[in-house]
Amino acid sequence: MRRPLRKPHGLKMEDIDNWEETASYIIHQDGAINIAIDGDTGKELSRNTDFATVFNAASAALATAGAGGLIFIKKGTYTISTGLTALSSINIRGESRKGTILFNDTAGYALTVSVPGYKDWGGGIYDLQFLGDDEAETGDDGGQVTVISAQHYSIHNCLFWFSNGTAVNLDECYLTDIRDCYFRINTGTCIDINDETNSCTGTIIEHCQFGNNNSDYCIEIKDSDSNWILENWFETSTKDCGGIRITDGSQYTHITRNRFHALGDAKHGIQIDGTDALVTDTRIECNTMSGFTTTGNCIDITGGETRRMHIINNTFRTINDNVFESNQDCADMIFRGNRFDEVTGRGINNSNFNGLIISDNFFYHVGGYCVYCSYARPCTITGNVSKECTGGGFRLSSLTRGCVVANNAVYDNTGIAYEIQDSSYYILSGNVALNGNADGFQLNDHTYCNIIGNISSDDQGTPTQTKGFEFTGTNSNNIIIGNRAEGNTANEFQGHTGQVGTILQYNIGEVTENGGTSAVIADGATIAHGLTGTPTQVSAVGSVAGEIVQVTAIGAANLTIAIKNNAGAAGTNQAIYWRAWL
């Protein structure tokens, strides 16, 4: 703006740091009196002990002019006894976030920003401190700022604290930008993106800090579309507050590069609730969650259905409960490239999934199962590493079908490396279990499964891993080929023989197939087949032409051989070419 031709009435020149500040109206204090002056001419617009009267006069003047404008508020503490109102095209700026304090002493919002329909846009609030009415958190202020039906509205560099209602409420807003704000010691929700009138679209929350708040969650997103939550800090320390809750049909929410630390008891870093409407297309990427020393998951799905969630490249460290928890109907979920470190509970704990990918994650010092899936169909668990975990590695159970568990590595774990129960039509291939303190692979009640090319071994001087592969329950029609079990303290393979319709071949560490040329033997002699179980298939061919050789008995250790001539009498003593398969 241009410099005024004269000193504004009641305002000293030294009270204004920079007369080049472009302002339509400037509000300042003279003792207990609030004064609004025209920022261009210096003419006084309004003066009153009631700040709302002065502010609303400036706001109404700009609304009448219909051209947006800026209300600039000088340093001071301004008590709000009745609510402030402004159109969404108006900018409201304080002289500094530390020095310009708006103290809400009402039962409603300190400031209501609205417009009938989508007519005005582009305003915002900047460099202001909004203070609730009672620092003991027992006041009755209804909140700080509510923005209704605004487009391209900005809230930058503001401080919201000691609010007993919602600090920032957005309703039916489009492309709202909340940036560089600090939310501290609020009892109400810090930011509520809701659908009281209609859903919000395109909200960006960036570079904000949330500290010691005592609401359910710092950010609530309800029935909203295309929200971005970027590079914020969430910490509650001694208070009882969660991070972000997404509900009621929200879609396309991106939560990226945030820090969640020491959240409240029984609260979650991120909670997704599709009870009222399906929540879809949530992307949680490159966040860090740490210091969850009480109950509460990093990511929790509760109620209803969730679709197309991507959890990628996050770090979860020092977590007392499960990192990811869901027992709801979910589909098309991806966990990729995450690190789970010093977790007391389970890494990924879920059920009722349809379409699940868990790949390239690293689990270190996890106390429960690294991955626990039930009723998952289909799913792929590939390329993950579990090291020095005190719980189990990977467990699939309860009618899980059509899954691929491949190319994972479990090292030095206390629990069972791979535990798969009551499952069918899956592939277990290329996995490694090394130097654990329990079974490498424990497989129960399997049908129509391919178990190919896995390794279960212990190469320590004093081995601790027990069984290599243990099969229990009812198993049939499986293919078990090319697996390796060596150095384990108990059986390398156990319970795998006698499976109906199962093919057992080329497994190292357990003789499932053997054969060769015997010494010269007589009719009725036996050949030790060397298999650990009773063969299901055998063949025997004599070395003397014209004589009949047959296997007359198959035992757990030996084959009994009959050698007859054409007359049916005992034939010539001879070497036998034989082969046996489990």
pTM across the whole model:
0.85
* The pLDDT of residue 227: 96
Distance from CA of residue 453 to its chain's centroid? 31
Number of Cβ within 10 Å of residue 388's Cβ equals: 12
* The pLDDT of residue 1: 38
DSSP output for 506-548: S-BTS--EEEEEPPPB-TT-EEE---SS--SEEEEEESSTT-E
Q: What angle do CA 533, 534, 536 make, to 5 degrees?
A: 120
Q: Quick check: 133 and 164 in contact, CB under 8 A?
A: yes
User: Token digits for 537?
Assistant: 């298939």
Fill in the DSSP letter of residue 58.
Answer: H
Domains of the chain by residue range = 1-188, 515-581
SS3 state of residue 503:
strand
The whole-angstrom separation of Cα 199 and Cα 221 is: 10
* The pLDDT of residue 20: 43
pLDDT tens, the chain, 582 aa long: 344 444 444 444 444 444 345 799 999 999 999 999 999 899 999 999 999 999 999 999 998 887 789 999 999 999 999 999 999 999 999 999 999 999 999 889 999 998 754 456 789 999 999 998 755 445 455 799 999 999 999 999 999 999 988 999 999 999 999 999 999 989 889 999 986 667 899 999 999 999 888 888 999 999 999 999 999 999 865 567 889 999 988 999 999 999 998 766 657 899 999 888 889 999 999 999 998 877 788 999 987 788 999 999 999 999 999 999 987 778 899 999 999 999 999 999 988 788 899 999 999 999 999 999 888 778 899 999 999 999 899 999 876 788 999 999 999 999 999 999 988 899 999 999 999 999 999 999 889 999 999 999 999 989 999 999 999 888 899 999 999 999 999 878 887 766 788 888 888 887 778 899 999 999 999 999 888 778 889 999 999 999 999 999 999 889 999 999 988 999 999 999 999 987
* The pLDDT of residue 14: 47
The whole-angstrom separation of Cα 324 and Cα 334 is: 12
Backbone φ, ψ for residue 133 (5° rounding): -85, 0
Q: What angle do CA 203, 208, 212 make, to 5 degrees?
A: 120
* The pLDDT of residue 390: 92
Q: What angle do CA 549, 551, 552 make, to 5 degrees?
A: 115
The whole-angstrom separation of Cα 162 and Cα 210 is: 12
Residues whose CB is less than 8 angstroms from the CB of residue 107 and which lie 6 or more positions away in sequence, other chains included: 140, 141, 142
User: Token digits for 405?
Assistant: 């568990």
Q: Quick check: 205 and 232 in contact, CB under 8 A?
A: yes
Return the closest-CA partner of residue 218 out of 253, 191, 200. Answer: 191
User: Token digits for 142?
Assistant: 């209804």
Q: Quick check: 450 and 425 in contact, CB under 8 A?
A: no
Q: Quick check: 35 and 25 in contact, CB under 8 A?
A: no
Return the closest-CA partner of residue 263 out of 314, 322, 212, 219. Answer: 212
Helix ranges (DSSP H) in 351-481: none
* The pLDDT of residue 197: 67
SS3 state of residue 63:
helix
* The pLDDT of residue 263: 67
